[in-house]
Structure 1
Amino acid sequence: MKKAYFVLLLLLSIFIYLPLITAPSPPALPVDGNGHLFKIHKLMEDGWKPWIEDWYAGFPFFRFYPPASYLLGAFFGKILRSDILGYSFTLVLTSFIGAWSMFFLLRRLGLGLGAYVGPVIYLLFPSKLFVVYVEANFPRANAINLAPLFVLAVLLLSERHIRTVVFSSLAISAILLTHHSILIPLLVLTLALYGERLVKMGTIENAFKLTALTMLLVAFWYVPFFFERAWVDFWDIYGTHLFKAYSVPPSDLLRPEFLLGLAVFSLSILVLKRRGLRELILAAIFIYLSFGYYSPTPWLHSLLLLRIIPPYRWLDLLAYIVAVAGAKAVDVTSKKVLLVAPLTVTLVISLLFLPTIPRLPDDYLALAEWLGEQPGVDWRFIVDAPCEFSWPSYLPALTGKTVFNGWYHEGNPAREGEEKLWYFLSIGDPTLTYYLRAYAVRFVIEGDCGLVSEDFLRSLEYVPVVEFGRYRVYEANVSFVQPVRVLLIGRYWELPFDYAYLPKLPNELSGVDAIIYAGMPTEEEVKRLEEFAREGGTVIWAPEADGEAFGAEVEVGPVGNLSSSVYDVSLFAPFQYADGPWFGPLFENVTPLVRAGNLTLIGFRDYGRGRVYFLGGNLIFHSLYWNSSYELSIIEGLLSIRQISLNYSILFRSDGRFYLLVDVNETSMVRISEAYYPHWHISSGDKPLKVMRDDRTGLMLVTLESGCHRVSGEFRDPFEKLRLYSGLAWLFLSLYAFPETKKRRVRVRFTPGR
């Protein structure tokens, strides 16, 4: 009977994913789907490269997203020669393993017929299918599928045999490498339902062994994940705008997939009564936590462990709780047919929600074909505000070109710059042009959901070149290597011209014409800036408080009574803040350009062949606060930027590697349109170059002397060898564990009502 039952579970696992198995290629998956599908495709085509060029301005592949689902998907995809089939059969396998695990778990807990019913409920649970077919979160769906395996592995810790501990470590490691955010909810669920079974000396001792083995198995991913956690932005969900976005409004629980699950759960609890109290309380807690922002106590999510979990993830384990409750209800009732029948009918109804997966539309495929025919590898394209969510992130698989859209922003090293690009695009701000060109975006593609007009794009020198159905393509000349002539140091301001931002003054100041220093420099920095000015550079000092530097004294006071023989002071914005006067730094002992009473608002002092300008009144902030184009033009006009000649050609560019031929007519700082990350090594010939990060765009900066340079860049991942060590651990521990676990039958007693 068991063999027939396992065949049934396998057939059900295949049946619920038939829409994906039979989907055309390339499929038009909902929401997240095509983003996840691309990762499988990339692994199939190129293997696991630590750095890929396909998304954003370069991307550390799988550095911050567990890889197990994709590796398995690529394995199946290679065999079946299809990324969507690899995607589908990964879901089939994890569903079957999860159902198999639940069966053995329930049997070892002492259930009879219920052990056969629980896995079926789990397989067909409506909200679990919602994750697959509506959200299309591929790794999350696999982690939910495998949740029973985690519980089974933890309960097996009560066994004394070391092989069982090894099996448990393999199982738990597989889940941790599928989706890390499910770990804390799984631990809460396991301890709440089965905690008393784990309080044994043998269990505690085995837990230490399991922890050691698991760390060995997952080290290849978790070690770099934790060491480089500063480069990812999900450690504090509560403290970001994502907290509200990731919270579940209570009204969402009225959707059909939740109501169907609630019907199954309610029927089970009515039968179990007090014996289902633990499941009922746990389900209520998980649902309440999922409300997050919408709950009466959102501050709960500011606690240490809760703050890193998106609130909606607490709903992931409702399928497990309902399945266990349903299995126990079947076992305790004498009218099993009367209970199994409505359970079956309710769950079969959920299958009616299985969708049809269409092919990507013809105009989209025609666009992809055209993009793939465009020459060069030194440019990117961007799809503006796509209605299709993650479709653009799959375009590199169809075009062989790189797209600035991606589908995992938290792992994008240039995320701050990317977000500013999208912001300026959404409001039609001309500052957008400096970001499009920094990221070498040659084509802007507008569709039905595009945010900007053709006139706006033309004003940025993007001209229409071709149209495919709903999609219009605009093109501009861009450069993968760009000279940088201005540095902003200290406090960051978003100014409408091209510059690179560094929080601290670099040791080497050659290769730029001007430096804007926002804040109070140290004495050592003042000496270096004065030397920079003596050699012909321009320094703009914009202090924010009292002090003294460059021979000038700074005094903070109200700004007013302006006069100037150089600028039209009537064009300055009002020096008012709210209902009061505007306060800011003013100078003494400088040559004035704009006076404010007896003090100086804008002045200068000459140093050798250069000049230091003094910018008072918090004028940068004032110009942005009032959106004063006149004041901004004054600031830009002080910079004295020279035009230089820079020519380049790309000899080679692929994942984590590029070779450029760059010719500059004088020493210059250049921006390379590749996201900065600590493991990039760049050299000119045999000479290593110091690599800095432009914190405005997140791209790389190097300084090149006058002449022709053969510039090479290579991404060297110091953690890559960990894959080999963890791989050997997986091999040897699997060979050690599985032969024995097939022979042993581990029993865990079940106490009714616990």
Structure 2
Amino acid sequence: MKVKVSREKKILLATLTINFILAVLATKIFSDGYPLGMDTFSHLPKTLYLSTHGFTQWFFDWYCGFPYLISYAPLAYILTYSLSIFNINPLLSYKLTETIFLMLTPIVFYKLVKTLGFSGEKAAYATLFFTVFPSTIQNPIIFGRFTNIVSYPFFILTLIFVFKTLNCKRSRWKNLFFASIFFGLTVLTHHFSAYILLLTMAILFLTLIQEKTIQTKILTVIAKFFGIAFLGCVFSGFWLLPFYLYREYWVLTYTKENFLLLVSITLFVLMVVLVGITVKKLFKPKNFNSLFVSVWMIIFIVLGSGLLPLKYFLPLGGEVDFLRFQLYLAIPSTILLVNLKNYSFGRLGKKLSLQQKLDKPKIWILVFLILNVLTVGILFQVFPVVLAEEVYPEDPPPQLIQYIKGEKGWGRILPIDCPFWVYILPYQTGKPLVDGWYPQGCILPTLKSITKKTINHYSKEEALKNLIANSKTYGIKWVIVGNHSKLYLFNNSTFKKVLKVSRFTVYKNSLNITYIETNPKTKVKFWQKGDSILIAFKTNNNKTRVLVREAYFPGWFAYEKSEKINVQKDGNGFICFNVYGVGEHRIRLTFNPYKKILGDSFPCII
């Protein structure tokens, strides 16, 4: 006897199969290669660092050091690290985490569509559309946005419980609590996703208060939205508080101009209200959910177009990449496509039978497949170098890794025009970079002022000349050059060519590069362990000035035995302090940002 399988289950099975294939392709889970996508070389080095150094707050490998678990939301890295604890290879841990969350996202999305009141079959079609939507596929395959991938299910789960909080009379407090929890998890996974989630909730709120039936309960609605946001921030407060307190280090357009903030909020509110009025008048949605989904979609199309100066239309919008809106546009767009019967297309639409013609799932699947093929074709035609260097780079030459790994002594690497694999070199060679994948975490003023992107791909050669000329200041011992046209930068410099592999030339500094320098000079030994730097030296002077070529950040403390030493930063932004007394000294430098925050807040206790 044949068992009949419903259309809904067939669609879901097809969706999950497609999604699994995409996950396998994106993560390369069955091979030794790096996962696809340019952002992989931002996130993978951090998880590899955790697996090597344990749970630490300070990242020694990039930018002369930075507090990576403060400047970046930590949860995705912690989840990956938790897998590596069970003796799972750290690269495989990363791939497993990405695969699991890629597989979870369509399942959670299906639940969202069902929560909005759609039938199982329509929810299944929406999930299929969502899976093959161009920005959904591009996210892991081209961009490799690991933290976005991990945060996506939390983002959608927050919306599920927000809708339940608004619509379900039973268990409202329970739903509000879960909405807050998942919002907090979104914050802890990817703060930009949490920001976009707040904007989505604001669109929902602004659309909701335009409904006459809800205006009598406006205070209750406001309380629910603010309650979810507030509790979510409380749950994620252990990370959000230091991130906020030290925001001037990584929020590049940080400003105290309240006027710009007021303008952006006003323009955003006006935009949402005007779109809501226009949608009501032109398309006459039959219910509130249909109205909200269409307003949400139009707003995200506008914000994701790249045509608007976001700093004037969104609070702190200058920090937000418009491509993120294209990613989350997949949610309202695909829901709308299975809900076309709830909109009016006017007389012309009725005459042309637009509703009947557009309400055909097979057509939309074909459209999305064509768009994906066209996108891939355009990328390979227009950006072949970007794809080869940043998205799908080959492995670094083994000879290059072996040479740098075999070099004795401390020193940093300066990359110039190298593929993105260069950001994993510290893990492979044990030698840190003076650069990093993106300057969000960079806190050294001179490096941060050079570029808004990476030093590696910086086009202005004056800045590179300055770094080469001041190599001793930044601890640069090796330079890897991937572009022959820039070899002239080393004429009359202290760097000598030591290796040529393929198109890569390695230069080594003839100067004596030191991590720690004392004045008066003396022999110094040091060890880096976890969040600490242990320093030992012997001096015949009553006062010794110690310079550590590690970026200063609030939270660095120095101790000799149990005595605290005052830590400062020098003119270049490095750690420095004075030690008093003749003889042997053993100094322990420790990074503890939470102790700094508590000490400033409760000086009598700490």
1:320 is aligned, of 313, 331, 336, to 331
Equivalence for 2:185: 174
Aligned twin of 2:545: 669
Please state which structure has a larger fraction of its residues in helix: 2
The amino acid that maps onto 1:655 is G
Change (3 A) 1:436 1:49: same
Report SS of the residue matched to 2:126: helix
Establish whether residue 396 from structure 1 lines up as the match of residue 426 from structure 2: yes
Q: How does 1:644-723 map to 2 (within 5 A)?
A: 646-663=521-538, 666=541, 667-684=543-560, 687-695=563-571, 697-705=572-580, 707-719=582-594
Q: For the residues of structure 1 that align with 2:562 and 2:594, how far apart are their CA atoms?
A: 25
**Whole-Å separation in 1 of the counterparts to 2:591 and 2:396:** 39
Q: Is the contact between residue 74 and residue 86 of structure 1 (CA under 8 Å) also seen in structure 2?
A: yes
Deviation at 1:396, TM superposition (A): 1.7
Q: Residue 437 of structure 1 aligns with which residue?
A: 472
Aligned partner of residue 653 in structure 1, secondary structure: strand
Q: 1:472 Cα shift?
A: 1.6
Change (3 A) 1:237 1:212: closer
Distance 2:337 2:522 in 1: 70
Structure 1 pair 27–299 and aligned structure 2 pair: CA distance change class (3 A): closer
**Structure 1's 334 and 701: CA in aligned 2 closer, same or farther, altered over 3 A?**
closer
1:306, distance to aligned residue in structure 2 (A): 3.1
Q: Is 2:149 aligned against 1:131?
A: no
Give the match's secondary structure for 1:17.
helix
Residue 658 of structure 1 aligns to a residue whose secondary structure is: strand
Q: Say which SS state the counterpart of residue 478 (structure 2) adopts.
A: strand
Q: 1:50 aligns with which of 57, 60, 85?
A: 57
Aligned to 2:577, what secondary structure does the other structure show?
Answer: strand
Per the alignment, residue 102 of structure 1 pairs with 109
Q: CA deviation at 1:288?
A: 3.0
Q: Is the 8 A contact 2:250 2:441 kept in 1?
A: yes
Shift of residue 114, structure 1, vs aligned partner: 1.8
Going from structure 1 to structure 2, the CA distance change for 1:4 and 1:237 (only over 3 Å counts) comes to: farther
Secondary structure of 1:464 counterpart = strand
Within the alignment, does 1:188 sit opposite 2:199 as a pair?
yes
Q: Residues 413-463 of structure 1: CA distance to partner in whole angstroms, max 9, x if unpaired?
A: 21433544958982277643564212211111111377442xx43523111
Q: Cα distance, 1:402 vs. partner? A: 1.6
Sort the Cα spacing of 1:406 and 1:363 in 2 relative to 1 into closer, same or farther, 3 A: closer
Q: Which deviates more from structure 2 when the two are superposed, residues 170-179 or residues 206-215?
A: 206-215
Identity across the alignment (%) = 20
Which one-letter code corresponds to 1:659 in the other structure?
L
The amino acid across from 2:475 in the alignment is A
Paired residue for 1:409? 439
1:286 to 300, 306, 316: 300
Determine whether 1:11 maps to 2:17.
yes
8 A Cα contact 1:673 1:700, kept in partner: yes
1:214 is matched by which residue type in structure 2?
G
- Residues 404 and 431 of structure 2 are in contact (CA less than 8 Å); yes or no, is this contact kept in structure 1? yes
Q: Which runs of 5+ in 1 are unaligned?
A: 240-268, 485-643, 723-754
* Equivalent residue, structure 2, for 1:519: none
Question: Counterpart of 1:340?
Answer: 361
Q: 1:96 to 1:31 in 2, by over 3 A?
A: closer
> Are 1:383 and 2:391 matched, yes or no?
no
Q: Output the amino acid matched with 1:457.
A: F
State the alpha-carbon separation in 2 of the partners of residues 424 and 308 from structure 1. Answer: 22
* 1:364 matched residue in structure 2: 397
Offset of 1:329 from its aligned partner? 2.8
Which amino acid in the other structure matches residue 250 of structure 2? V
Alpha-carbon distance in structure 1 between the residues aligned to 2:127 and 2:568: 54
Q: Is contact 2:26–2:140 with CA below 8 Å preserved after alignment?
A: no
> Does the residue aligned with 2:162 lie in a helix, a strand or coil?
helix
Which of the numbers 68, 71, 80 marks the counterpart of 1:64?
71
Per-residue CA deviations over 1:538-558 (Å, capped at 9, x if unaligned) read xxxxxxxxxxxxxxxxxxxxx
Looking at structure 1, the residues matched to 463 and 240 of structure 2 have their Cα atoms a distance apart, in angstroms, of 41
Give 3-state SS (helix, strand or coil) of 2:523's partner.
strand
**In the TM superposition, what are the counterparts of 1:148-297 in structure 2 within 5 Å?**
148-158=156-166, 159=168, 160-161=170-171, 162-193=173-204, 195-196=207-208, 200=217, 204=222, 206-207=224-225, 210-211=228-229, 213-236=231-254, 274-275=284-285, 279=293, 281-291=295-305, 294-295=307-308
**Would the alpha carbon gap of residues 320 and 149 (structure 1) be closer, same or farther in structure 2, given more than 3 Å must change?**
same
Q: Is residue 474 of structure 1 aligned with residue 507 of structure 2?
A: yes
Contact 1:78 1:86 in 2 (8 A): no
The answer on 1:448 being equivalent to 2:483 is yes
Q: What amino acid does structure 2 have at the position aligned with 1:14?
A: F
Cα distance, 1:702 vs structure 2: 1.8
User: TM-score normalized by structure 1?
Assistant: 0.61
3-state SS, counterpart of residue 338 of structure 2: helix
CA contact (8 A) 2:555 2:594 kept: no
1:135/1:80 Cα in 2 relative to 1: closer, same or farther (>3 Å)? farther
Partner of 2:462: 427
Is contact 1:52-1:655 (8 Å) kept?
Answer: no
Q: Establish whether residue 22 from structure 1 lines up as the match of residue 28 from structure 2.
A: yes
Q: Write the distance in 1 (CA, Å) between the matches of 2:316 and 2:395.
A: 46
Taking a change above 3 Å as real, the CA distance of residues 393 and 445 of structure 1, as seen in their structure-2 partners, is same
Return the letter of the residue paired with 1:50: Q
Distance 1:474 1:13, change over 3 A: same
Q: Which residue of 1 aligns with 2:270?
A: none
Q: Paired residue for 2:129, among 113, 118, 121?
A: 121
Question: Per-residue displacement from partner, 1:29-63 (whole Å, max 9, x unpaired)?
Answer: 44322221112222333332011212221121210
Per-residue CA shift, 1:456-497, capped at 9, x if unaligned?
A: 43523111222222222111221112357xxxxxxxxxxxxx
Q: 2:11·2:128 contact (CA, 8 Å) conserved in 1?
A: no
Unaligned runs of 5+ in 2: 1-5, 258-278, 344-353, 381-386, 598-606
Deviation per residue, 1:661-704 (Å, 9 max, x gap): 33556545342111111211224555533221124x22112234
Distance 1:181 1:661 in 2: 42
Q: Does 1:457 pair with 2:490? A: yes
After superposition, give the CA deviation of every residue in 1:270-303 in whole Å (9 maximum; x if it has no partner).
xx954377655544433333455x54x67624x6
How many angstroms apart in 2 are the aligned matches of 1:51 and 1:344? 46
In 1, the alpha carbon distance for the partners of 2:77 and 2:588 equals: 28
SS in 1 for 2:251: coil
CA contact (8 A) 1:369 1:398 kept: no
- Give the distance between the partners of 1:207 and 1:230, measured in 2 at CA: 28
**Contact (CA 8 Å) 1:124, 1:350: kept in 2 or not?**
no
Cα deviation digits, residues 165-223 of structure 1 (max 9, x gap): 33222222222222212334333334435742887466555546544542342122112
Alignment CA distance shift 1:447-1:715 (3 Å): same
Q: CA deviation at 1:133?
A: 2.3
Deviation track 1:298-333 (CA, whole Å, cap 9, x = no partner) reads 7624x6443443344333321112111112137889
Aligned to 2:261: none
The one-letter amino acid of 1:703's match is N
- Are the equivalent residues in 1 in contact too, given 2:154–2:183 (CA < 8 A)? no
SS of structure 2 residue aligned to 1:411: coil
- Residue identity opposite 1:669 in structure 2: R
Amino acid at match of 1:370: Y
Change (3 A) 1:155 1:179: same
Bigger radius of gyration, 1 or 2? Answer: 1
The verdict on how the C-alpha distance between 1:662 and 1:225 changes in structure 2, with shifts beyond 3 A counting, is same
